[in-house]
């Protein structure tokens, strides 16, 4: 009897497998959905390849007719272009490749610093919009509505004209000792970075990373047994003692260099050129207005009952916001925040409007000098694509890390 049941079960399984689409034999007929789908995919890919090949051959033909050489060999030639604002060593005698590297660094200066500042300011303004203080909430609303509704290029030109209207270096504003603001830009005190300083900063970054890992494990242990464990000894040892020990062993110098007015300009210190400063302010204020709305909507997406329950327990408003509301709001905030980071990075290409020499400005100058239009545009596209993909990968990783896990 058991053998009969086994035979019937095997027969039923064989019938089911025979009826599944994966078990059907392939027929070279467009009536078969699998063949039709494969045919249309191959056709679309072939058309796309043909269009790209035609465009490439047409471009190569027109360039050859005009006796314009193709390729990236021009990157090894002397650039001959001056770059006023550069964080790495550069002279006009350097190659075009070096000039492009300077452009990439200048673009990253705007993007990275702008993202950090826009996030901080946007978060504060978004929280202020929900404040119980009527005046603070209205000021935050005016900030958001005004800056969101004005074109970014108009704001950029406004800040640049405002910077040009500042007094000359001899009559520069001095809000605090060692800080000067004039039409030459913003001049700040600086600390000369040597190799020992670099290793000390690396030790600081490593200490912060290790501290965050240790803190996470201590919190996990507290959730298991309910026993609180102090974290301040680890913070003291990893964030303060470790960098101090590395600095002492390597003999790092942390003397502050104050800027001094000599003639018609400043010597020493860190100078933020008016073009860079205007671009940074415009990008930060414009993007922070959008981030503020994202933060506000993310906080309001958290059920109000959780805040009310926390207040009923006597918890402080700042503690509730930091440990209860914001961690849940991040799941709503992060995806649209990624788009704003990408927008800020791409909007940095407006630097050409105020003369700041980023990758777009340097590529345009290279294009005019060499005639390598396709190659220059391709380099711009590659740089922005690489930066944007890097931001997207990091933000997607962070979004997946904080996402709720379905059980």
The mean pLDDT value for 312-327 works out to 76
Predicted confidence band at 60 (pLDDT cuts at 50, 70, 90)? confident
Residue 64 has pLDDT above 60, yes or no: yes
86, 104 Cβ separation under 8 angstroms: no
The mean pLDDT value for 113-125 works out to 94
Residue 332 has pLDDT above 80, yes or no: yes
The mean pLDDT value for 259-272 works out to 77
The mean pLDDT value for 257-273 works out to 78
- What proportion of the chain, given as a percentage, has pLDDT over 70? 91
pLDDT at 9: 47
pLDDT at 113: 94
Task: Read off the pLDDT of residues 228-259 as tens digits, 9 standing for 90 and up.
Answer: 778 888 888 888 888 888 888 888 777 777 78
- What's the rounded Cα separation, in Å, for the pair 231 and 238? 11
Residue 194 has pLDDT above 80, yes or no: no
Exposure b/e, 282-314, CB count within 10 A at least 16 = b: bbbbbbbbbbbbbbbebbeebeeeebeebeeee
Averaged confidence pLDDT in the chain:
83
- What's the rounded Cα separation, in Å, for the pair 250 and 253? 9
Predicted confidence band at 16 (pLDDT cuts at 50, 70, 90)? very low
253, 197 Cβ separation under 8 angstroms: yes
The mean pLDDT value for 341-346 works out to 94
Residue indicated by tokens 């002397």: 78
The mean pLDDT value for 55-61 works out to 81
The angle, 0 to 180 degrees and rounded to 10, between the axes of the packed helices 134-149 and 96-129 is: 140
pLDDT at 2: 46
- What proportion of the chain, given as a percentage, has pLDDT over 90? 31
The mean pLDDT value for 26-49 works out to 79
Residue 57 has pLDDT above 70, yes or no: yes
Task: Read off the pLDDT of residues 65-74 as tens digits, 9 standing for 90 and up.
Answer: 777 677 778 8
- What's the rounded Cα separation, in Å, for the pair 183 and 273? 9
The mean pLDDT value for 89-115 works out to 91
pLDDT at 267: 77
pLDDT at 251: 80
Which tokens hold the place of 301? 């997406």
Higher pLDDT, 205 or 19: 205
Predicted confidence band at 11 (pLDDT cuts at 50, 70, 90)? very low
pTM: 0.77
Exposure b/e, 380-390, CB count within 10 A at least 16 = b: beebbeebbee
Which tokens hold the place of 161? 């004209």
């Amino acid at each position: 009897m058991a053998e009969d049941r086994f035979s019937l079960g095997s027969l039923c399984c064989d019938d089911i497998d025979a009826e599944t689409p994966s078990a059907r034999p392939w027929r070279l007929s467009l009536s078969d959905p699998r063949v039709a789908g494969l045919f249309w995919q191959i056709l679309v890919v072939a058309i796309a390849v043909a269009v790209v090949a035609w465009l490439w051959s047409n471009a190569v033909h027109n360039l050859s007719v005009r006796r314009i050489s193709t390729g990236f060999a021009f990157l090894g030639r002397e650039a001959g272009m001056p770059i006023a604002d550069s964080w790495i060593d550069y002279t006009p005698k350097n190659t075009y490749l070096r000039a492009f590297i300077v452009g990439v660094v200048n673009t990253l200066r705007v993007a990275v610093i702008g993202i950090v500042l826009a996030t901080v300011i946007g978060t504060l303004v978004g929280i202020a919009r929900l404040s119980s203080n009527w005046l603070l909430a209205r000021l935050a609303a005016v900030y958001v509505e005004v800056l969101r509704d004005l074109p970014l290029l108009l704001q950029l030109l406004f800040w640049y004209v405002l910077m040009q209207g500042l007094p000359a270096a001899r009559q520069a504003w001095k809000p605090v000792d060692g800080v000067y603001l004039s039409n030459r830009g913003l001049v700040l005190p600086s600390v000369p970075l040597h190799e020992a300083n670099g290793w000390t900063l690396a030790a600081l970054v490593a200490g912060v990373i290790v501290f965050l890992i240790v803190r996470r494990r201590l919190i996990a242990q507290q959730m298991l047994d309910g026993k609180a464990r102090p974290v301040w000894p680890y913070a003291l040892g990893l964030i303060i003692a470790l960098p101090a020990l590395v600095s002492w062993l390597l003999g790092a110098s942390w003397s502050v260099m104050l800027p001094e007015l000599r003639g018609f300009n400043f010597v020493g210190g860190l100078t933020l050129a008016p073009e860079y400063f205007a671009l940074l302010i415009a990008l930060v204020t414009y993007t922070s207005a959008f981030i503020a709305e994202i933060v506000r909507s993310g906080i309001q997406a958290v059920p109000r009952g959780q805040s009310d329950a926390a207040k009923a327990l006597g918890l402080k408003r700042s503690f509730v916001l930091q440990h209860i509301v914001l961690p849940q709001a991040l799941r709503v905030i992060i995806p649209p925040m990624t788009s704003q980071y990408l927008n800020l990075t791409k909007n940095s290409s407006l630097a050409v409007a105020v003369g700041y020499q980023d990758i777009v400005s340097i590529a345009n100058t290279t294009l005019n000098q060499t005639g390598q239009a396709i190659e220059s545009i391709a380099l711009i596209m590659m740089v922005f694509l690489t930066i944007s993909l890097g931001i997207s990968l990091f933000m997607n990783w962070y979004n997946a890390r904080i996402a709720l896990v379905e059980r």
